[in-house]
A = this chain, B = another copy of it.
Amino acid sequence: MTGRWDGRALADSLLEAAQRSVEFGRSEGARPPALLAVHTGEASPFAFYLRQQRKAAGRAGIRYTDETLAADASSTSLRARLREIDSDPTIDGVLLEHPLPEHLGFLSAVSTLRLEKDVDGVGASSLGRLVAGQPIHAPAVARAAVLLARHHGGDLVGRRVAVVGRSGTVGLPLALLLVARGLGAEATVTIAHSRTPNLAAALAGSEVIFTAVGTPGLLDRTNVPRGAAVVDVGLSSVPDESAPSGQRAVGDANSESLEGWASALTPVPGGVGPVTVATLMENTVHAWSLLGRGLPT
């Protein structure tokens, strides 16, 4: 019997806690926290997240706005705009769509934000502070995956876990968070990736496997050790004629193969996704506190 590590109840409780913090601040005279999403337009895959973010922000009492980059935006104009936003005292948190088209220079752009406003935790200084064990905001998706695993699976201290994937925005921050002191994990972590010749050998002995590759069906009972839990952070679209959009979101885990083999799976959608959105709201409320909540200083 394979358990189902659903993320919705955890997301709800994170959003409720965020909403209580906002309410308390407002009772003291603060303005609402303000989150701004910057993206390339409604046609981007990011638009799916925009709708979820807007809804979650509404529940937490966060003012949510978004802005579309001009079609002729360059890395220079994007950095200039983010510098303006960075010094705008009415904005507490900023989300920049990623991956962005290469020529827009995502890393340099997002790294112009001060640490407090980088609520997705993916700027160079944010990631570096995670390496140094002093994060301001850990990358939301990595933090969400760890929270979800601990919520259902308990303490991770000293346990063997694996991360499949080595992206700078998901896989590696996840590995850093899982190994870090004082952030509740302190697991022994193995990082596997596309150049790992034998995935089954790399995953052997792991009790929890976090996967963040974006290859549907990558993990199945040929490479996941029997009884391991799989936290699925991969996200891809596959054609689905029965869906209104003609597409369906799927993770890296082959759930048919792993049913009755893994001890637990996180659903896609409804697993790490909603917790990530809630974590972004939690980070935004944190940013608002760090930045003085719009109160005169």
| B-side contacts of A166, CB under 8 Å | 179-181
Q: Say how far A282's CB is from chain B's closest CB, in angstroms.
A: 21
Which of A124, A125, A160, A168 gathers the greatest number of chain B CB atoms within 10 Å? Answer: A124
State which residues 142-190 of A face B: CB under 8 Å: 157-158, 160, 166, 168-169, 172-173, 175-176, 179-181, 186, 188-190
In the complex, A195 Cα to B127 Cα: how many Å?
23
Which of A158, A176, A180, A188 gathers the greatest number of chain B CB atoms within 10 Å? Answer: A188
| Stretch among A85-93, A129-137, A266-274 lining the B interface | A129-137
In the complex, A297 Cα to B134 Cα: how many Å?
38
Q: Which residue from B107, B158, B176, B191 sits with its C-beta under 8 Å from A188? A: B191
Chain B, Cβ-Cβ closest to A185: B195
| B-side contacts of A125, CB under 8 Å | 111, 124-125, 128
Number of copies of this protein chain within its complex: 2
B190 contacts A188, C-beta separation under 8 Å: yes
State which residues 108-140 of A face B: CB under 8 Å: 111, 123-134
| B-side contacts of A168, CB under 8 Å | 131-133
A226 beta carbon closer than 8 Å to chain B? no
| B-side contacts of A107, CB under 8 Å | 129, 132, 134
A192 beta carbon closer than 8 Å to chain B? yes
Q: Say how far A119's CB is from chain B's closest CB, in angstroms.
A: 16
Chain B, Cβ-Cβ closest to A126: B128
Q: Which residue from B130, B134, B191, B205 sits with its C-beta under 8 Å from A175? A: B191
| B-side contacts of A127, CB under 8 Å | 127-129, 131-132
Interface size on A, residues (CB 8 A): 41
Q: Say how far A79's CB is from chain B's closest CB, in angstroms.
A: 15
In the complex, A236 Cα to B175 Cα: how many Å?
28
| B-side contacts of A204, CB under 8 Å | 205
| B-side contacts of A158, CB under 8 Å | 195-197
Chain B, Cβ-Cβ closest to A195: B186
A128 contacts B123, C-beta separation under 8 Å: yes
A111-B128, A125-B125, A128-B130 known; 13 new pairs, CB 8 Å cut-off, are A124-B124, A124-B128, A124-B129, A124-B132, A125-B128, A128-B128, A131-B168, A131-B172, A131-B173, A158-B196, A186-B195, A188-B196, A189-B190
What are the 7 closest A-B residue pairs judged by CB atoms, nearest first? Answer: A128-B128, A124-B128, A127-B128, A132-B168, A127-B131, A190-B190, A124-B125
Would you list 13 pairs from A and B whose C-beta atoms are within 8 A, ordered by A residue? Answer: A124-B124, A125-B128, A127-B127, A128-B128, A130-B131, A132-B168, A158-B196, A160-B201, A179-B191, A188-B191, A188-B193, A189-B191, A190-B190
